[in-house]
């Protein structure tokens, strides 16, 4: 099964083509976003592994906001046994309360239990979880730092994999979020890592849903300027990802009324009421329930269309040979 993130990044995919045809008017939203975001406030040093770092800060933000987040993806990654760190991973997951003594996933964790831990521990723990999730999601893991561990490694060795610059960078992004994100979040039910009814058709999980607002975390640095500073950007794929999340909630189970992006290196929170965003992107009022059903039909036809495309390519090659 394909993933929403992959579909929207490929402009030739049926999902991206449909979203861009249905919601073509994105330029004003992008321009407004760039202007409002301002300059980057936290930039990484060259020694920071950006992909893993982005996943790590996602985890830390979830722990700040959600009183009972699931770390099931990290458990699933460790269970793939793609890296020789099972003992170390299980030791950490058991300490967090995610698995029992036999390594079975037992449910969400409770970050409040660890409120007295140091910032460095939180940063290293979040980084370790990000590495374990890569075992589940990444096509190749031979270059993972987890390969530095062995069967006899312990949790302390796993926590040591983040370097000092990465720890400092994570703490700086956390500090910025405490000032710029936490105070503006709405009051209401909190869910992190949520999947939708449509996630069974197209793999997708949201960073945060709180009080009817879906919030996506972005840790990109932005575009380099001639003066050495960075400018935030909002790509068409990022807009499509927000739309995809909303449309995969086929029956409006989460009662979403707004979507938002928090750009962690800029400390910028941008939110849009769904009705207004969809109308601006489409250039007309949008019947959201009907549009969700159209999208459901599209994504459920993806496997059939892909098989037909493969057969067609094979037939053309045979005919040309």
| pLDDT tens per residue across span 74-126 | 999 999 999 999 999 999 999 999 999 999 999 999 999 999 999 999 999 99
- Tell me the mean pLDDT in the region 281-294: 98
- Tell me the mean pLDDT in the region 239-266: 98
Lowest mean pLDDT across 132-136, 145-149, 212-216, 305-309: 305-309
- How many residues in total does the chain contain? 321
What is the average pLDDT score of the chain?
A: 95
Determine the pLDDT at residue 309: 53
Flag whether pLDDT at 317 surpasses 80: no
Flag whether pLDDT at 262 surpasses 90: yes
List pLDDT tens digits, range 4-39. 999 999 999 999 999 999 999 999 999 999 999 999
- Tell me the mean pLDDT in the region 296-301: 97
Determine the pLDDT at residue 304: 80
List pLDDT tens digits, range 113-130. 999 999 999 999 999 999
Higher-confidence position of 69 and 227 = 69
Q: What is the percentage of the chain residues whose pLDDT exceeds 70?
A: 95
Determine the pLDDT at residue 310: 47
Flag whether pLDDT at 259 surpasses 90: yes
Higher-confidence position of 157 and 312 = 157
- Tell me the mean pLDDT in the region 53-68: 98
Flag whether pLDDT at 315 surpasses 80: no
Give a three-class secondary structure readout of the chain. Answer: CCEHHHHHHCCCCHHHHHHHHHCCCCHHHHHHHHHHHCECCCCCCCCCCHHHHHHHHHHHHHHHHCCCCCCHHHHHHHHCCCCCCHHHHHHHHHHHCCECCCCCECCCCCHHHHCCCCHHHHHHHHHHHHHHHHHHHCCCCCCCHHHHCCCCCCHHHHHCCCCHHHHHHHHHHHHHHHHHCHHHCCCCCEEEEEECHHHHCCECEEEEEECCEEEEEECCCCEECCCCCEECCCCHHHHHHHHHHHHHCCCCCCCCCEEEEEECCCCEEEEEEHHHHHHHHHCCCCCHHHHHHHHHHHHHCHHHHHHHHHHHHHHHHHHHC
**Which of the four pLDDT bands, split at 50, 70 and 90, describes residue 311?**
very low
List pLDDT tens digits, range 135-153. 999 999 999 999 999 999 9
Determine the pLDDT at residue 227: 86
**Which of the four pLDDT bands, split at 50, 70 and 90, describes residue 228?**
confident
CA neighbor of 71 nearest in space, from 125, 120, 143, 10: 125
């Amino acid at each position: 099964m394909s993933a929403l993130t992959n579909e929207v990044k490929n402009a030739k995919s049926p999902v991206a083509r449909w979203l861009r045809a249905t919601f073509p008017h994105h330029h004003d939203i992008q321009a407004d976003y760039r202007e409002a975001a301002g300059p980057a406030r936290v930039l990484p040093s060259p020694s920071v592994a950006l992909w893993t770092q982005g996943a790590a800060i996602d985890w830390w933000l979830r722990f700040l906001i959600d009183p009972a987040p699931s770390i099931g993806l990290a458990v699933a990654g460790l269970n793939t046994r793609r890296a020789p760190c099972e003992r170390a991973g299980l030791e950490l997951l058991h300490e967090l309360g995610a698995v029992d003594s036999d390594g079975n996933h037992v449910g969400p964790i409770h970050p409040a239990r660890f409120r007295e831990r140091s910032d460095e521990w939180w940063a290293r723990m979040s980084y370790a979880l990000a590495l374990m999730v890569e075992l589940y999601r990444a096509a190749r893991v031979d270059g993972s730092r987890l390969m530095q561990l062995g069967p006899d490694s312990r949790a302390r060795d796993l926590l040591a994999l983040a370097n000092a610059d990465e720890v400092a960078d994570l703490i700086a992004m956390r500090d910025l979020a405490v000032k710029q994100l936490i105070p503006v979040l709405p009051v209401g039910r909190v869910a992190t890592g949520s999947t939708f009814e449509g996630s069974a058709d197209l793999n997708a999980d949201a960073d945060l849903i709180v009080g009817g607002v879906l919030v996506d975390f972005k840790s990109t640095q932005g575009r380099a300027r001639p003066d050495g500073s960075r400018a935030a950007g909002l790509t068409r794929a990022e807009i499509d990802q927000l739309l995809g999340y909303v449309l995969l909630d086929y029956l409006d189970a989460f009662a979403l009324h707004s979507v938002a992006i928090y750009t962690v290196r800029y400390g910028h929170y941008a939110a849009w009421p769904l009705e207004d965003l969809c109308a601006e992107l489409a250039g007309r009022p949008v019947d959201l329930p009907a549009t969700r059903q159209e999208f459901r039909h599209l994504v459920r036809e993806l496997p059939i269309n892909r098989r037909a495309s493969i057969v067609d390519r094979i037939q053309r090659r045979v005919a040309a040979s």
